[in-house]
């Protein structure tokens, strides 16, 4: 499994990388998917929840609106894929996952700067947190 | 006292590990300073004028003797043998080395302490009444709610990258010693007509460069709705707070620009979503928290000797008069230990002093200590028969300064001595003023007076709410001190009014002297405080004293 993923990564020629379950994958363009791209200014009431995938753009890592947008989408019953795209640091990955994000799209340069080991390690921090414990204990 | 459980310990230990790896990544270059900055800030590490500064959380200002001992140990091992207690119930180390910080955090974790969320644009350490759990006037102990909020806000996935920092304060007493209306969210515990506990909620207060008094958001919120309601406020802020201008990013500006009515409507709408989705903490978890804040087992002892000593020992009775507050248990007292010893830096305590306080807490205060936002240290549960012993120990440690609430009990921010943002010195100014009135033996005569000093417009010294506030600015390369009058804390919070043009550092003390002299002449009787006189007479006579005729001519 690991080996296969690494191989997939080495084949990437596209400009961006997808982080899925802590692994790097090539950013494929799947034209059959019905997607919508939104940014931090999006108003939740105006978003079409029938899309297969909603891509939330993170313009700057310090701009945390995307976290609340993802969570609001889930709270409003959205069941499709949520992708966070852009400037999301590896240390923010567990936060995004906890807000309902499925995958992250980062630039190739970013992927080189923060290699996959760091993303995989970060993913372990998505579990066992205060909020889950408060709500489930 | 809240004792951490396995979960808390595991969480803190993990954060130390994580930060250690972040420090290493910073040192090996895989993190740039720009990327490292928000991460170090999430762990309380600032870059100051001369060095890094580590800000350690003291949740709602409560700690035990073991934790206090550890602070003394850290101050001694990694710093210059002292620690600084702040106006937000935190403690700061001013001289740590970057490479040592993970070790310091590890030492803190040994006693269940940490620096998580003491900086950065997240929900900060929740502050509370420094007499919580002890004061006779409280409706309920605010700390169980504060602890619930601590657990809720720690590592909250949505709110680590807010438009700006976010402060919550909670009081369990209508006396509101936590100054809740100067916070982004202020909570006041109260009971409804049926006797059910809940919260009155204020929103959008804050000091800083544009001060606002928190506005009433909700008259009564049932206790069980606290977390979903806070979540609704936070979502509305996170999505709508301004991100285009750092100085307009706090929720106070959002409230100011949109009006409390509109913001309230958005919050209430979102609250409906939260209520539907929010899984309430179990009764088991809530009662486990409550259990940890139980009253100590108060002892019974004869207090006749205390009463006799009070009559015979003037030094002791002076200390008792100023440094003691009424306790829930009539045989107990709340002791405030002043960190405003004349001539020393407000809020600083040496390792030895911290050790002494830890020892006193262990022996005489049921192992509890509190840090006040006025930068003093509280022994919350001292039996009256032990007061004389405590007093003697404090005297030996140079900690028996009996000036709580007086003109020399000054709040001052670090200012030019430490802070990279400062435009003027504030510590030396505080020392000078305290020394002057102390030498003239005038403190008692002047009575209750809150004097607060900030070294720049960010107002960390809370000058806006000082009866007399001093703001140090810079005018043409020189320090210029602006005086504000009539500021007030507590539920009736007021922002002080600027008196007029600033004073140079040489002119400042004479100006304060004129102001105090005028007050002493103007007051109705010795019991009328500075603030009461000011309210009765208005600002005019005080301004006349600050700017006598000939100077007014010069200014004009
Ligand atoms: S008020 Fe200004 S000088 Fe004082 S601590 Fe805050 S930022 Fe620094």
The string of DSSP letters for B176-198 reads -TT-GGGSSEEEEEEE-TT--EE
Q: State chain B's mean pLDDT as an integer.
A: 94
B36-to-B29, B41, B222, B451 alpha-carbon distances in Å: 10, 8, 41, 38
Burial B407-419 (b: 16+ CB within 10 A, else e): bbbbbbbbbbbbb
Query: 3-state DSSP call for residue B393?
Result: helix
Query: B340 pLDDT exceeds 90?
Result: yes
Percent of chain A beyond pLDDT 90? 66
Q: What is the pLDDT of residue A113?
A: 84
pLDDT, tens only, B136-171? 999 999 999 999 999 999 999 999 999 999 999 999
Lowest mean pLDDT among A14-18, A67-71, B186-190, B324-328: A14-18
CB contact A76 to B (< 8 Å): yes
Using a 6 Å CB cutoff, which residues line ligand 1?
B 413-415, 419, 421-422, 454-456, 458-461
Q: Quote the pTM value.
A: 0.93
Residue closest by Cα to atom 2 of ligand 1: B456
- Residue of B86, B455, B462, B472 to mutate, ligand 1, most atoms within 8 A of C-beta: B455
Q: Shortest Cα distance from A122 to chain B (angstroms)?
A: 9
Pairing of strands B90-93, B82-85: antiparallel
B39-to-B33, B122, B349, B357, B553 alpha-carbon distances in Å: 10, 12, 29, 33, 54
Q: Which helix (H) or strand (E) holds B348?
A: strand B348-350
Our measurement of the distance from residue B96's CA atom to the centroid of its chain's CA atoms, rounded to an integer in Å, reads: 23
Cα–Cα nearest to B376, from B177, B208, B211, B528: B177
Cβ A63–B238 below 8 Å, yes or no?
Answer: no
Query: A7 pLDDT exceeds 50?
Result: no
**Does the domain made of B127-291 have the CATH classification 1.10.260.40?**
no
What CATH fold (topology level) applies to the domain B411-554?
A: Sulfite Reductase Hemoprotein; domain 1 (3.30.413)
Query: A9 pLDDT exceeds 60?
Result: no
3-state helix, strand, coil in chain B (%, to 5): 45, 20, 40
What CATH fold (topology level) applies to the domain B6-109?
A: Sulfite Reductase Hemoprotein; domain 2 (3.90.480)
Please count the residue pairs, one from chain A and one from chain B, whose beta carbons lie less than 8 angstroms apart: 90
Percent of chain B beyond pLDDT 90? 86
Query: A13 pLDDT exceeds 70?
Result: no
Structure tokens at B164: 């700006």
Partners of B235 on chain A (C-beta within 8 Å) are: 68, 71-72
Number of C-beta neighbours around residue B481 at 10 A: 23
pLDDT, tens only, B60-76? 999 999 999 999 999 99
A48-to-A69, B273, B341 alpha-carbon distances in Å: 13, 18, 64
Q: For residues B77-86, give the mean pLDDT.
A: 94
A68 vs B11, B14, B239: nearest CB? B239
Q: How confident is the model at residue A31 (pLDDT cuts 50, 70, 90)?
A: confident
Q: Which residue do the tokens 């409550």 mark?
A: B290
Q: Give chain B's length.
A: 556
Q: A2-136: what CATH class?
A: alpha beta
Q: For residues B224-241, give the mean pLDDT.
A: 97
CA distance A82 to A67: 11
Q: What is the pLDDT of residue A69?
A: 98
- In the β-sheet with B348-350, what is the strand arrangement from edge to edge? B45-47, B52-57, B90-93, B82-85, B348-350
CB contact A95 to B (< 8 Å): yes
Percent of chain B beyond pLDDT 70? 98
Report the DSSP beta bridge partners of residue B480: B473
DSSP letter string over chain A?
-HHHHHHHHHT--SSEEEEETTEEEE----TTS-EEEE-TT--GGGS-TT-SEEEEEESSTT-THHHHHHHHHHHTT--SEEEEEES--GGGHHHHHHTT--EEEEEHHHHHHS-HHHHHHHHGGGSS-HHHHHHH-
The second-level CATH assignment, the architecture, of B307-396 is Alpha-Beta Complex (3.90)
Interface test with A, best of B19, B156, B158 (most A CBs within 10 A): B158
Q: How confident is the model at residue B286 (pLDDT cuts 50, 70, 90)?
A: very high
Residue range(s) of every CATH 3.90.480.20 domain in chain B: 6-109, 307-396
Q: How confident is the model at residue A4 (pLDDT cuts 50, 70, 90)?
A: very low
Query: B188 pLDDT exceeds 90?
Result: yes
Q: For residues A2-9, give the mean pLDDT.
A: 40
Burial B339-369 (b: 16+ CB within 10 A, else e): bbbbebbbbbbbbbbbbbbbebbbebbbbbb
Contact call for residues B211 and B464 (beta carbons, < 8 A): yes
Which residues of chain B from 353 to 372 reach within 8 Å of chain A, CB to CB?
A: none
Q: State chain A's mean pLDDT as an integer.
A: 86
Q: Which residue has the higher pLDDT, B488 or B28?
A: B488
pLDDT, tens only, B6-28? 888 888 998 899 899 889 988 88
Cα–Cα nearest to B293, from B184, B444, B147: B147
Residue closest by Cα to atom 6 of ligand 1: B460
Q: What ipTM describes this predicted complex?
A: 0.90
User: What atom of ligand 1 comes closest to residue B472's alpha carbon?
Assistant: 3
Ligand 1 midpoint to CA B461 (Å): 7
B485 φ, ψ to 5°?
-125, 145
Structure tokens at A35: 């997607």
- Residues near B436 by Cβ (< 8 Å), separated by ≥ 6? B509, B513
Q: For residues B181-203, give the mean pLDDT.
A: 97
B103 φ, ψ to 5°?
-70, -40
Q: How confident is the model at residue B469 (pLDDT cuts 50, 70, 90)?
A: very high
Pairing of strands B332-337, B324-326: antiparallel
Q: How confident is the model at residue A26 (pLDDT cuts 50, 70, 90)?
A: confident
Q: For residues B231-255, give the mean pLDDT.
A: 97
Q: What is the pLDDT of residue B51?
A: 84
Pairing of strands B168-171, B185-191: parallel
Partners of A91 on chain B (C-beta within 8 Å) are: 22, 39
Q: For residues B219-245, give the mean pLDDT.
A: 97
């Amino acid at each position: 499994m690991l080996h296969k993923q690494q191989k997939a990564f080495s084949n990437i020629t596209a400009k961006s990388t997808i982080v899925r379950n802590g692994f790097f994958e090539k950013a494929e363009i799947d034209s059959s998917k019905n997607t919508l791209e939104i940014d931090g200014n999006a108003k939740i009431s105006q978003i079409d929840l029938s899309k297969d995938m909603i891509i939330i753009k993170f313009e700057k890592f310090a701009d945390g609106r995307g976290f609340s947008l993802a969570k609001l989408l889930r709270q409003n019953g959205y069941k499709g894929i949520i992708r966070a795209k852009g400037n999301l640091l590896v240390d923010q990955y567990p936060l995004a996952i906890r807000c309902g994000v499925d995958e992250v799209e980062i630039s190739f340069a970013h992927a080189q700067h923060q290699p996959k080991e760091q993303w995989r390690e970060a993913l372990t921090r998505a579990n066992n947190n205060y909020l889950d414990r408060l709500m489930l204990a | 006292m809240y004792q951490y459980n396995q979960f808390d310990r595991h969480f803190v230990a993990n954060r130390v590990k994580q930060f250690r790896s972040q420090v290493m990544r910073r040192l090996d270059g895989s993190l740039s300073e720009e990327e490292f900055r928000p991460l170090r800030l999430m762990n309380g590490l600032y870059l100051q004028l001369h060095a890094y500064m580590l800000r350690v959380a003291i949740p709602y200002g409560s700690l035990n003797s073991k934790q206090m001992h550890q602070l003394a140990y850290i101050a001694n091992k990694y710093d210059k043998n002292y620690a600084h207690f702040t106006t937000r119930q935190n403690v700061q180390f001013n001289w740590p080395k970057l490479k040592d910080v993970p070790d310091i955090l590890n030492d803190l974790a040994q006693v269940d302490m940490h620096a998580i969320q003491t900086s950065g644009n997240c929900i900060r350490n929740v502050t509370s009444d420094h007499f919580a759990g002890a004061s006779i006037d409280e409706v309920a102990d605010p700390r169980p709610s504060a602890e619930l909020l601590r657990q809720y806000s720690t590592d909250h996935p949505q709110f680590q990258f807010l438009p700006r920092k976010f402060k919550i304060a909670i009081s369990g007493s209508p006396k509101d010693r936590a100054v809740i209306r100067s916070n982004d969210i202020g909570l006041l515990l109260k009971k409804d007509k049926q006797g059910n506990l809940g919260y009155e909620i204020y929103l959008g207060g804050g000091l800083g460069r544009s001060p606002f008094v928190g506005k009433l958001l909700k008259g009564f919120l049932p206790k069980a709705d606290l977390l979903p309601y806070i979540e609704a406020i936070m979502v509305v802020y996170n999505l709508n707070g301004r991100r285009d201008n750092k100085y307009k990013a706090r929720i106070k500006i959002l409230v100011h620009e949109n009006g409390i009515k509109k913001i309230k409507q958005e919050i209430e709408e979102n609250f409906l979503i939260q209520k539907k989705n929010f899984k309430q903490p179990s009764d088991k978890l809530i009662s486990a928290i409550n259990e940890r804040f139980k009253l100590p087992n108060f002892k019974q002892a004869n207090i006749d000797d205390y009463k006799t000593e009070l009559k015979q020992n003037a030094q002791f009775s002076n200390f008792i008069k100023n440094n003691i507050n009424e306790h829930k248990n009539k045989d107990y007292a709340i002791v405030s230990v002043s960190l405003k010893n004349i001539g020393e830096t407000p809020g600083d305590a040496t390792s030895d002093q911290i050790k002494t306080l830890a020892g006193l807490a262990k022996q005489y205060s049921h192992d509890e200590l509190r840090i006040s936002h006025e930068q003093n240290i509280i022994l919350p549960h001292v039996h009256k028969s032990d007061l004389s012993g405590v007093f003697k120990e404090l005297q030996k440690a140079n900690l028996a300064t009996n000036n709580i609430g007086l003109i020399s009990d000054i709040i001052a921010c670090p200012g030019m001595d430490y802070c990279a943002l400062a435009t003027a010195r504030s510590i030396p100014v505080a020392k000078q003023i305290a020394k002057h009135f102390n030498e003239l033996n005038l403190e008692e005569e002047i009575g209750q007076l809150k004097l607060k000093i900030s070294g720049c417009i960010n107002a960390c010294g809370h000058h806006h709410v000082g009866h007399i506030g001093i703001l140090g600015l810079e005018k043409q390369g020189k320090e210029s001190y602006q005086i504000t009058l009539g500021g007030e804390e507590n539920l009736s919070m007021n922002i002080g009014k600027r008196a007029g043009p600033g004073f140079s550092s040489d002119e400042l003390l004479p100006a304060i002297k004129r102001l105090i002299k005028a007050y002493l002449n103007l007051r109705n009787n010795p019991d009328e405080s500075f603030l009461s006189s000011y309210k009765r007479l208005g600002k005019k006579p005080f301004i006349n004293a600050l700017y006598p005729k000939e100077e007014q001519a010069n200014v004009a």
